[in-house]
Structure 1
Amino acid sequence: MGKLDEFFGSFIGGRPDTEVLTEIEDRLLVDDIPGAIALLEELKKEQNLVIAVRLILRKITQMLEKGDGQSFRALPLIKQLLPHINGIKNERYRALLLGEISIGFYLAGSELEGDFTLKTAINLALQHPDILRDILFSLIKAGLLQKAAYAMKFVKDPEKLDVVLSYLAEVFYERGDIEKALAIISHITSNFHRAVALMHLAQLEENRDRGKALQFIESAIKIAERIEDPETRFELMLKLHDLKHEIMGEPLSVGELLSAETPLEKEAAEGQDGGRV
């Protein structure tokens, strides 16, 4: 696209985006953040603006992480990025960048502005679970656990939150943060999503630690037994038992699966027995 940018740039005026992005990178290399921000006006494509803003935000975050009283310098720079972010039409991009800029505000000590931008980001991301997951993950990664919890309060739909938490648990487990992954799973309200999350952990451990994988599967089966919808329960139980026997190196026992009586079925049976004269 570089050649096309150069070609069309001569017609629409101004430099091609590739050239502007290169200069932004060069300015960031020498810590000229104000100069990099000033160049954002020249970018024509929204995707390129997103790339540039993320580069600048990353540089500001690095500056804040160094400490040495950089908050005073960083805060006005972060504020200069807001008009550019708010001008982005794509809702997904805008949500992602607002989530990232909220972290900048928090690190710079501006909690009120951080809360405001985070709330806006979450509201925009409600229809995009992957973006919601990325925002929450970034907060947790930055050590802003309380703010991640604050953000979750705005997700009113438990189903969406459970999906996001399942994603997060898997990501943290893959990164080796087992304790945090299991803590996240414990906050999943749906039996279905909690069982699925444990199943995914079992799949991650299948070729590493069969004993641990089987523990996850057994826990998932116990949780899945309490799923109320019979079809959903059966489909998930089939997957879980299939994975269990795969880990054990044995063929799936259909008889074992069909004969398994769930707690809900036991309660129903006991209720019927109690009603007999």
Structure 2
Amino acid sequence: MRQPTFFVPHGGGPCFFMDDPAGMWTRMENFLSGFIADLPERPKALLVVSGHWEEESFAVQDGAKPGLLYDYYGFPEHTYQLRWDASGAPGVAHRAAALLGDAGFATSTDAERGWDHGVFVPMKVALPGADIPTAQLSLRRDMDPAAHIAAGRALAPLRDEGVLIIGSGMSFHNMRVRNGDATAPADIFDAALTQAVVDPDPTRRADRLTAWESMPHARFAHPREEHLIPLMVAAGAAGDDPGEHIFGDHVLGWKVSGYRFG
């Protein structure tokens, strides 16, 4: 069975593993806990594209047992002891690198890098048993949306090989604004982004996502777009499959969404 692709929010730092008396992260945590478990066929492996790894050209992590990068700051001490001990997926990493290379993308491998929190935090919620092998793909530092959509298209054959491709980021990511200052423009940007994702014409969808900066309040939502660009890979890997809005919530006054393709 062909696997779908996803763009999921990964929250703020280790937010799902801290006290949250107001339940700000509860809906997102509930969504993350079910989006893989509810698939009709369990993936053989994951390929995760996180907003927290950038290289000059695409890179894939091909270590057999990656560690964790606690790349967040100022959080409680116990959050630096979190574990997520999934096996790496070197075969998937090498296959991804070959597909990208065949499409004309310079691609390297990295056996030493650990999983950043854009991978292990949401995946620890989704897969607490850490029982699906996982590989990670970097972003390309130029953040070219068209190139990342094209890279996703190149990776699409992995879906027929049992690999679930996941973009991990945040559909809104402006750390300088909170609550009432953020809500109205965040809602407007989210509506425009969602309209692009669910466009039934895949060519037009790609064009609209490539032109994301023209959406209202785009640079307010993403002063820098590293948390949005994983969506482009997921959308590109979707091919002609439709996009669907599957999660939405307000956190910190931000409208945050998740999407599924296929």
**Greater percentage in strand:** 2
Q: Which has the higher contact order (CA 8 A, sep 6+)?
A: 2
Q: TM-score, normalised by structure 1?
A: 0.23
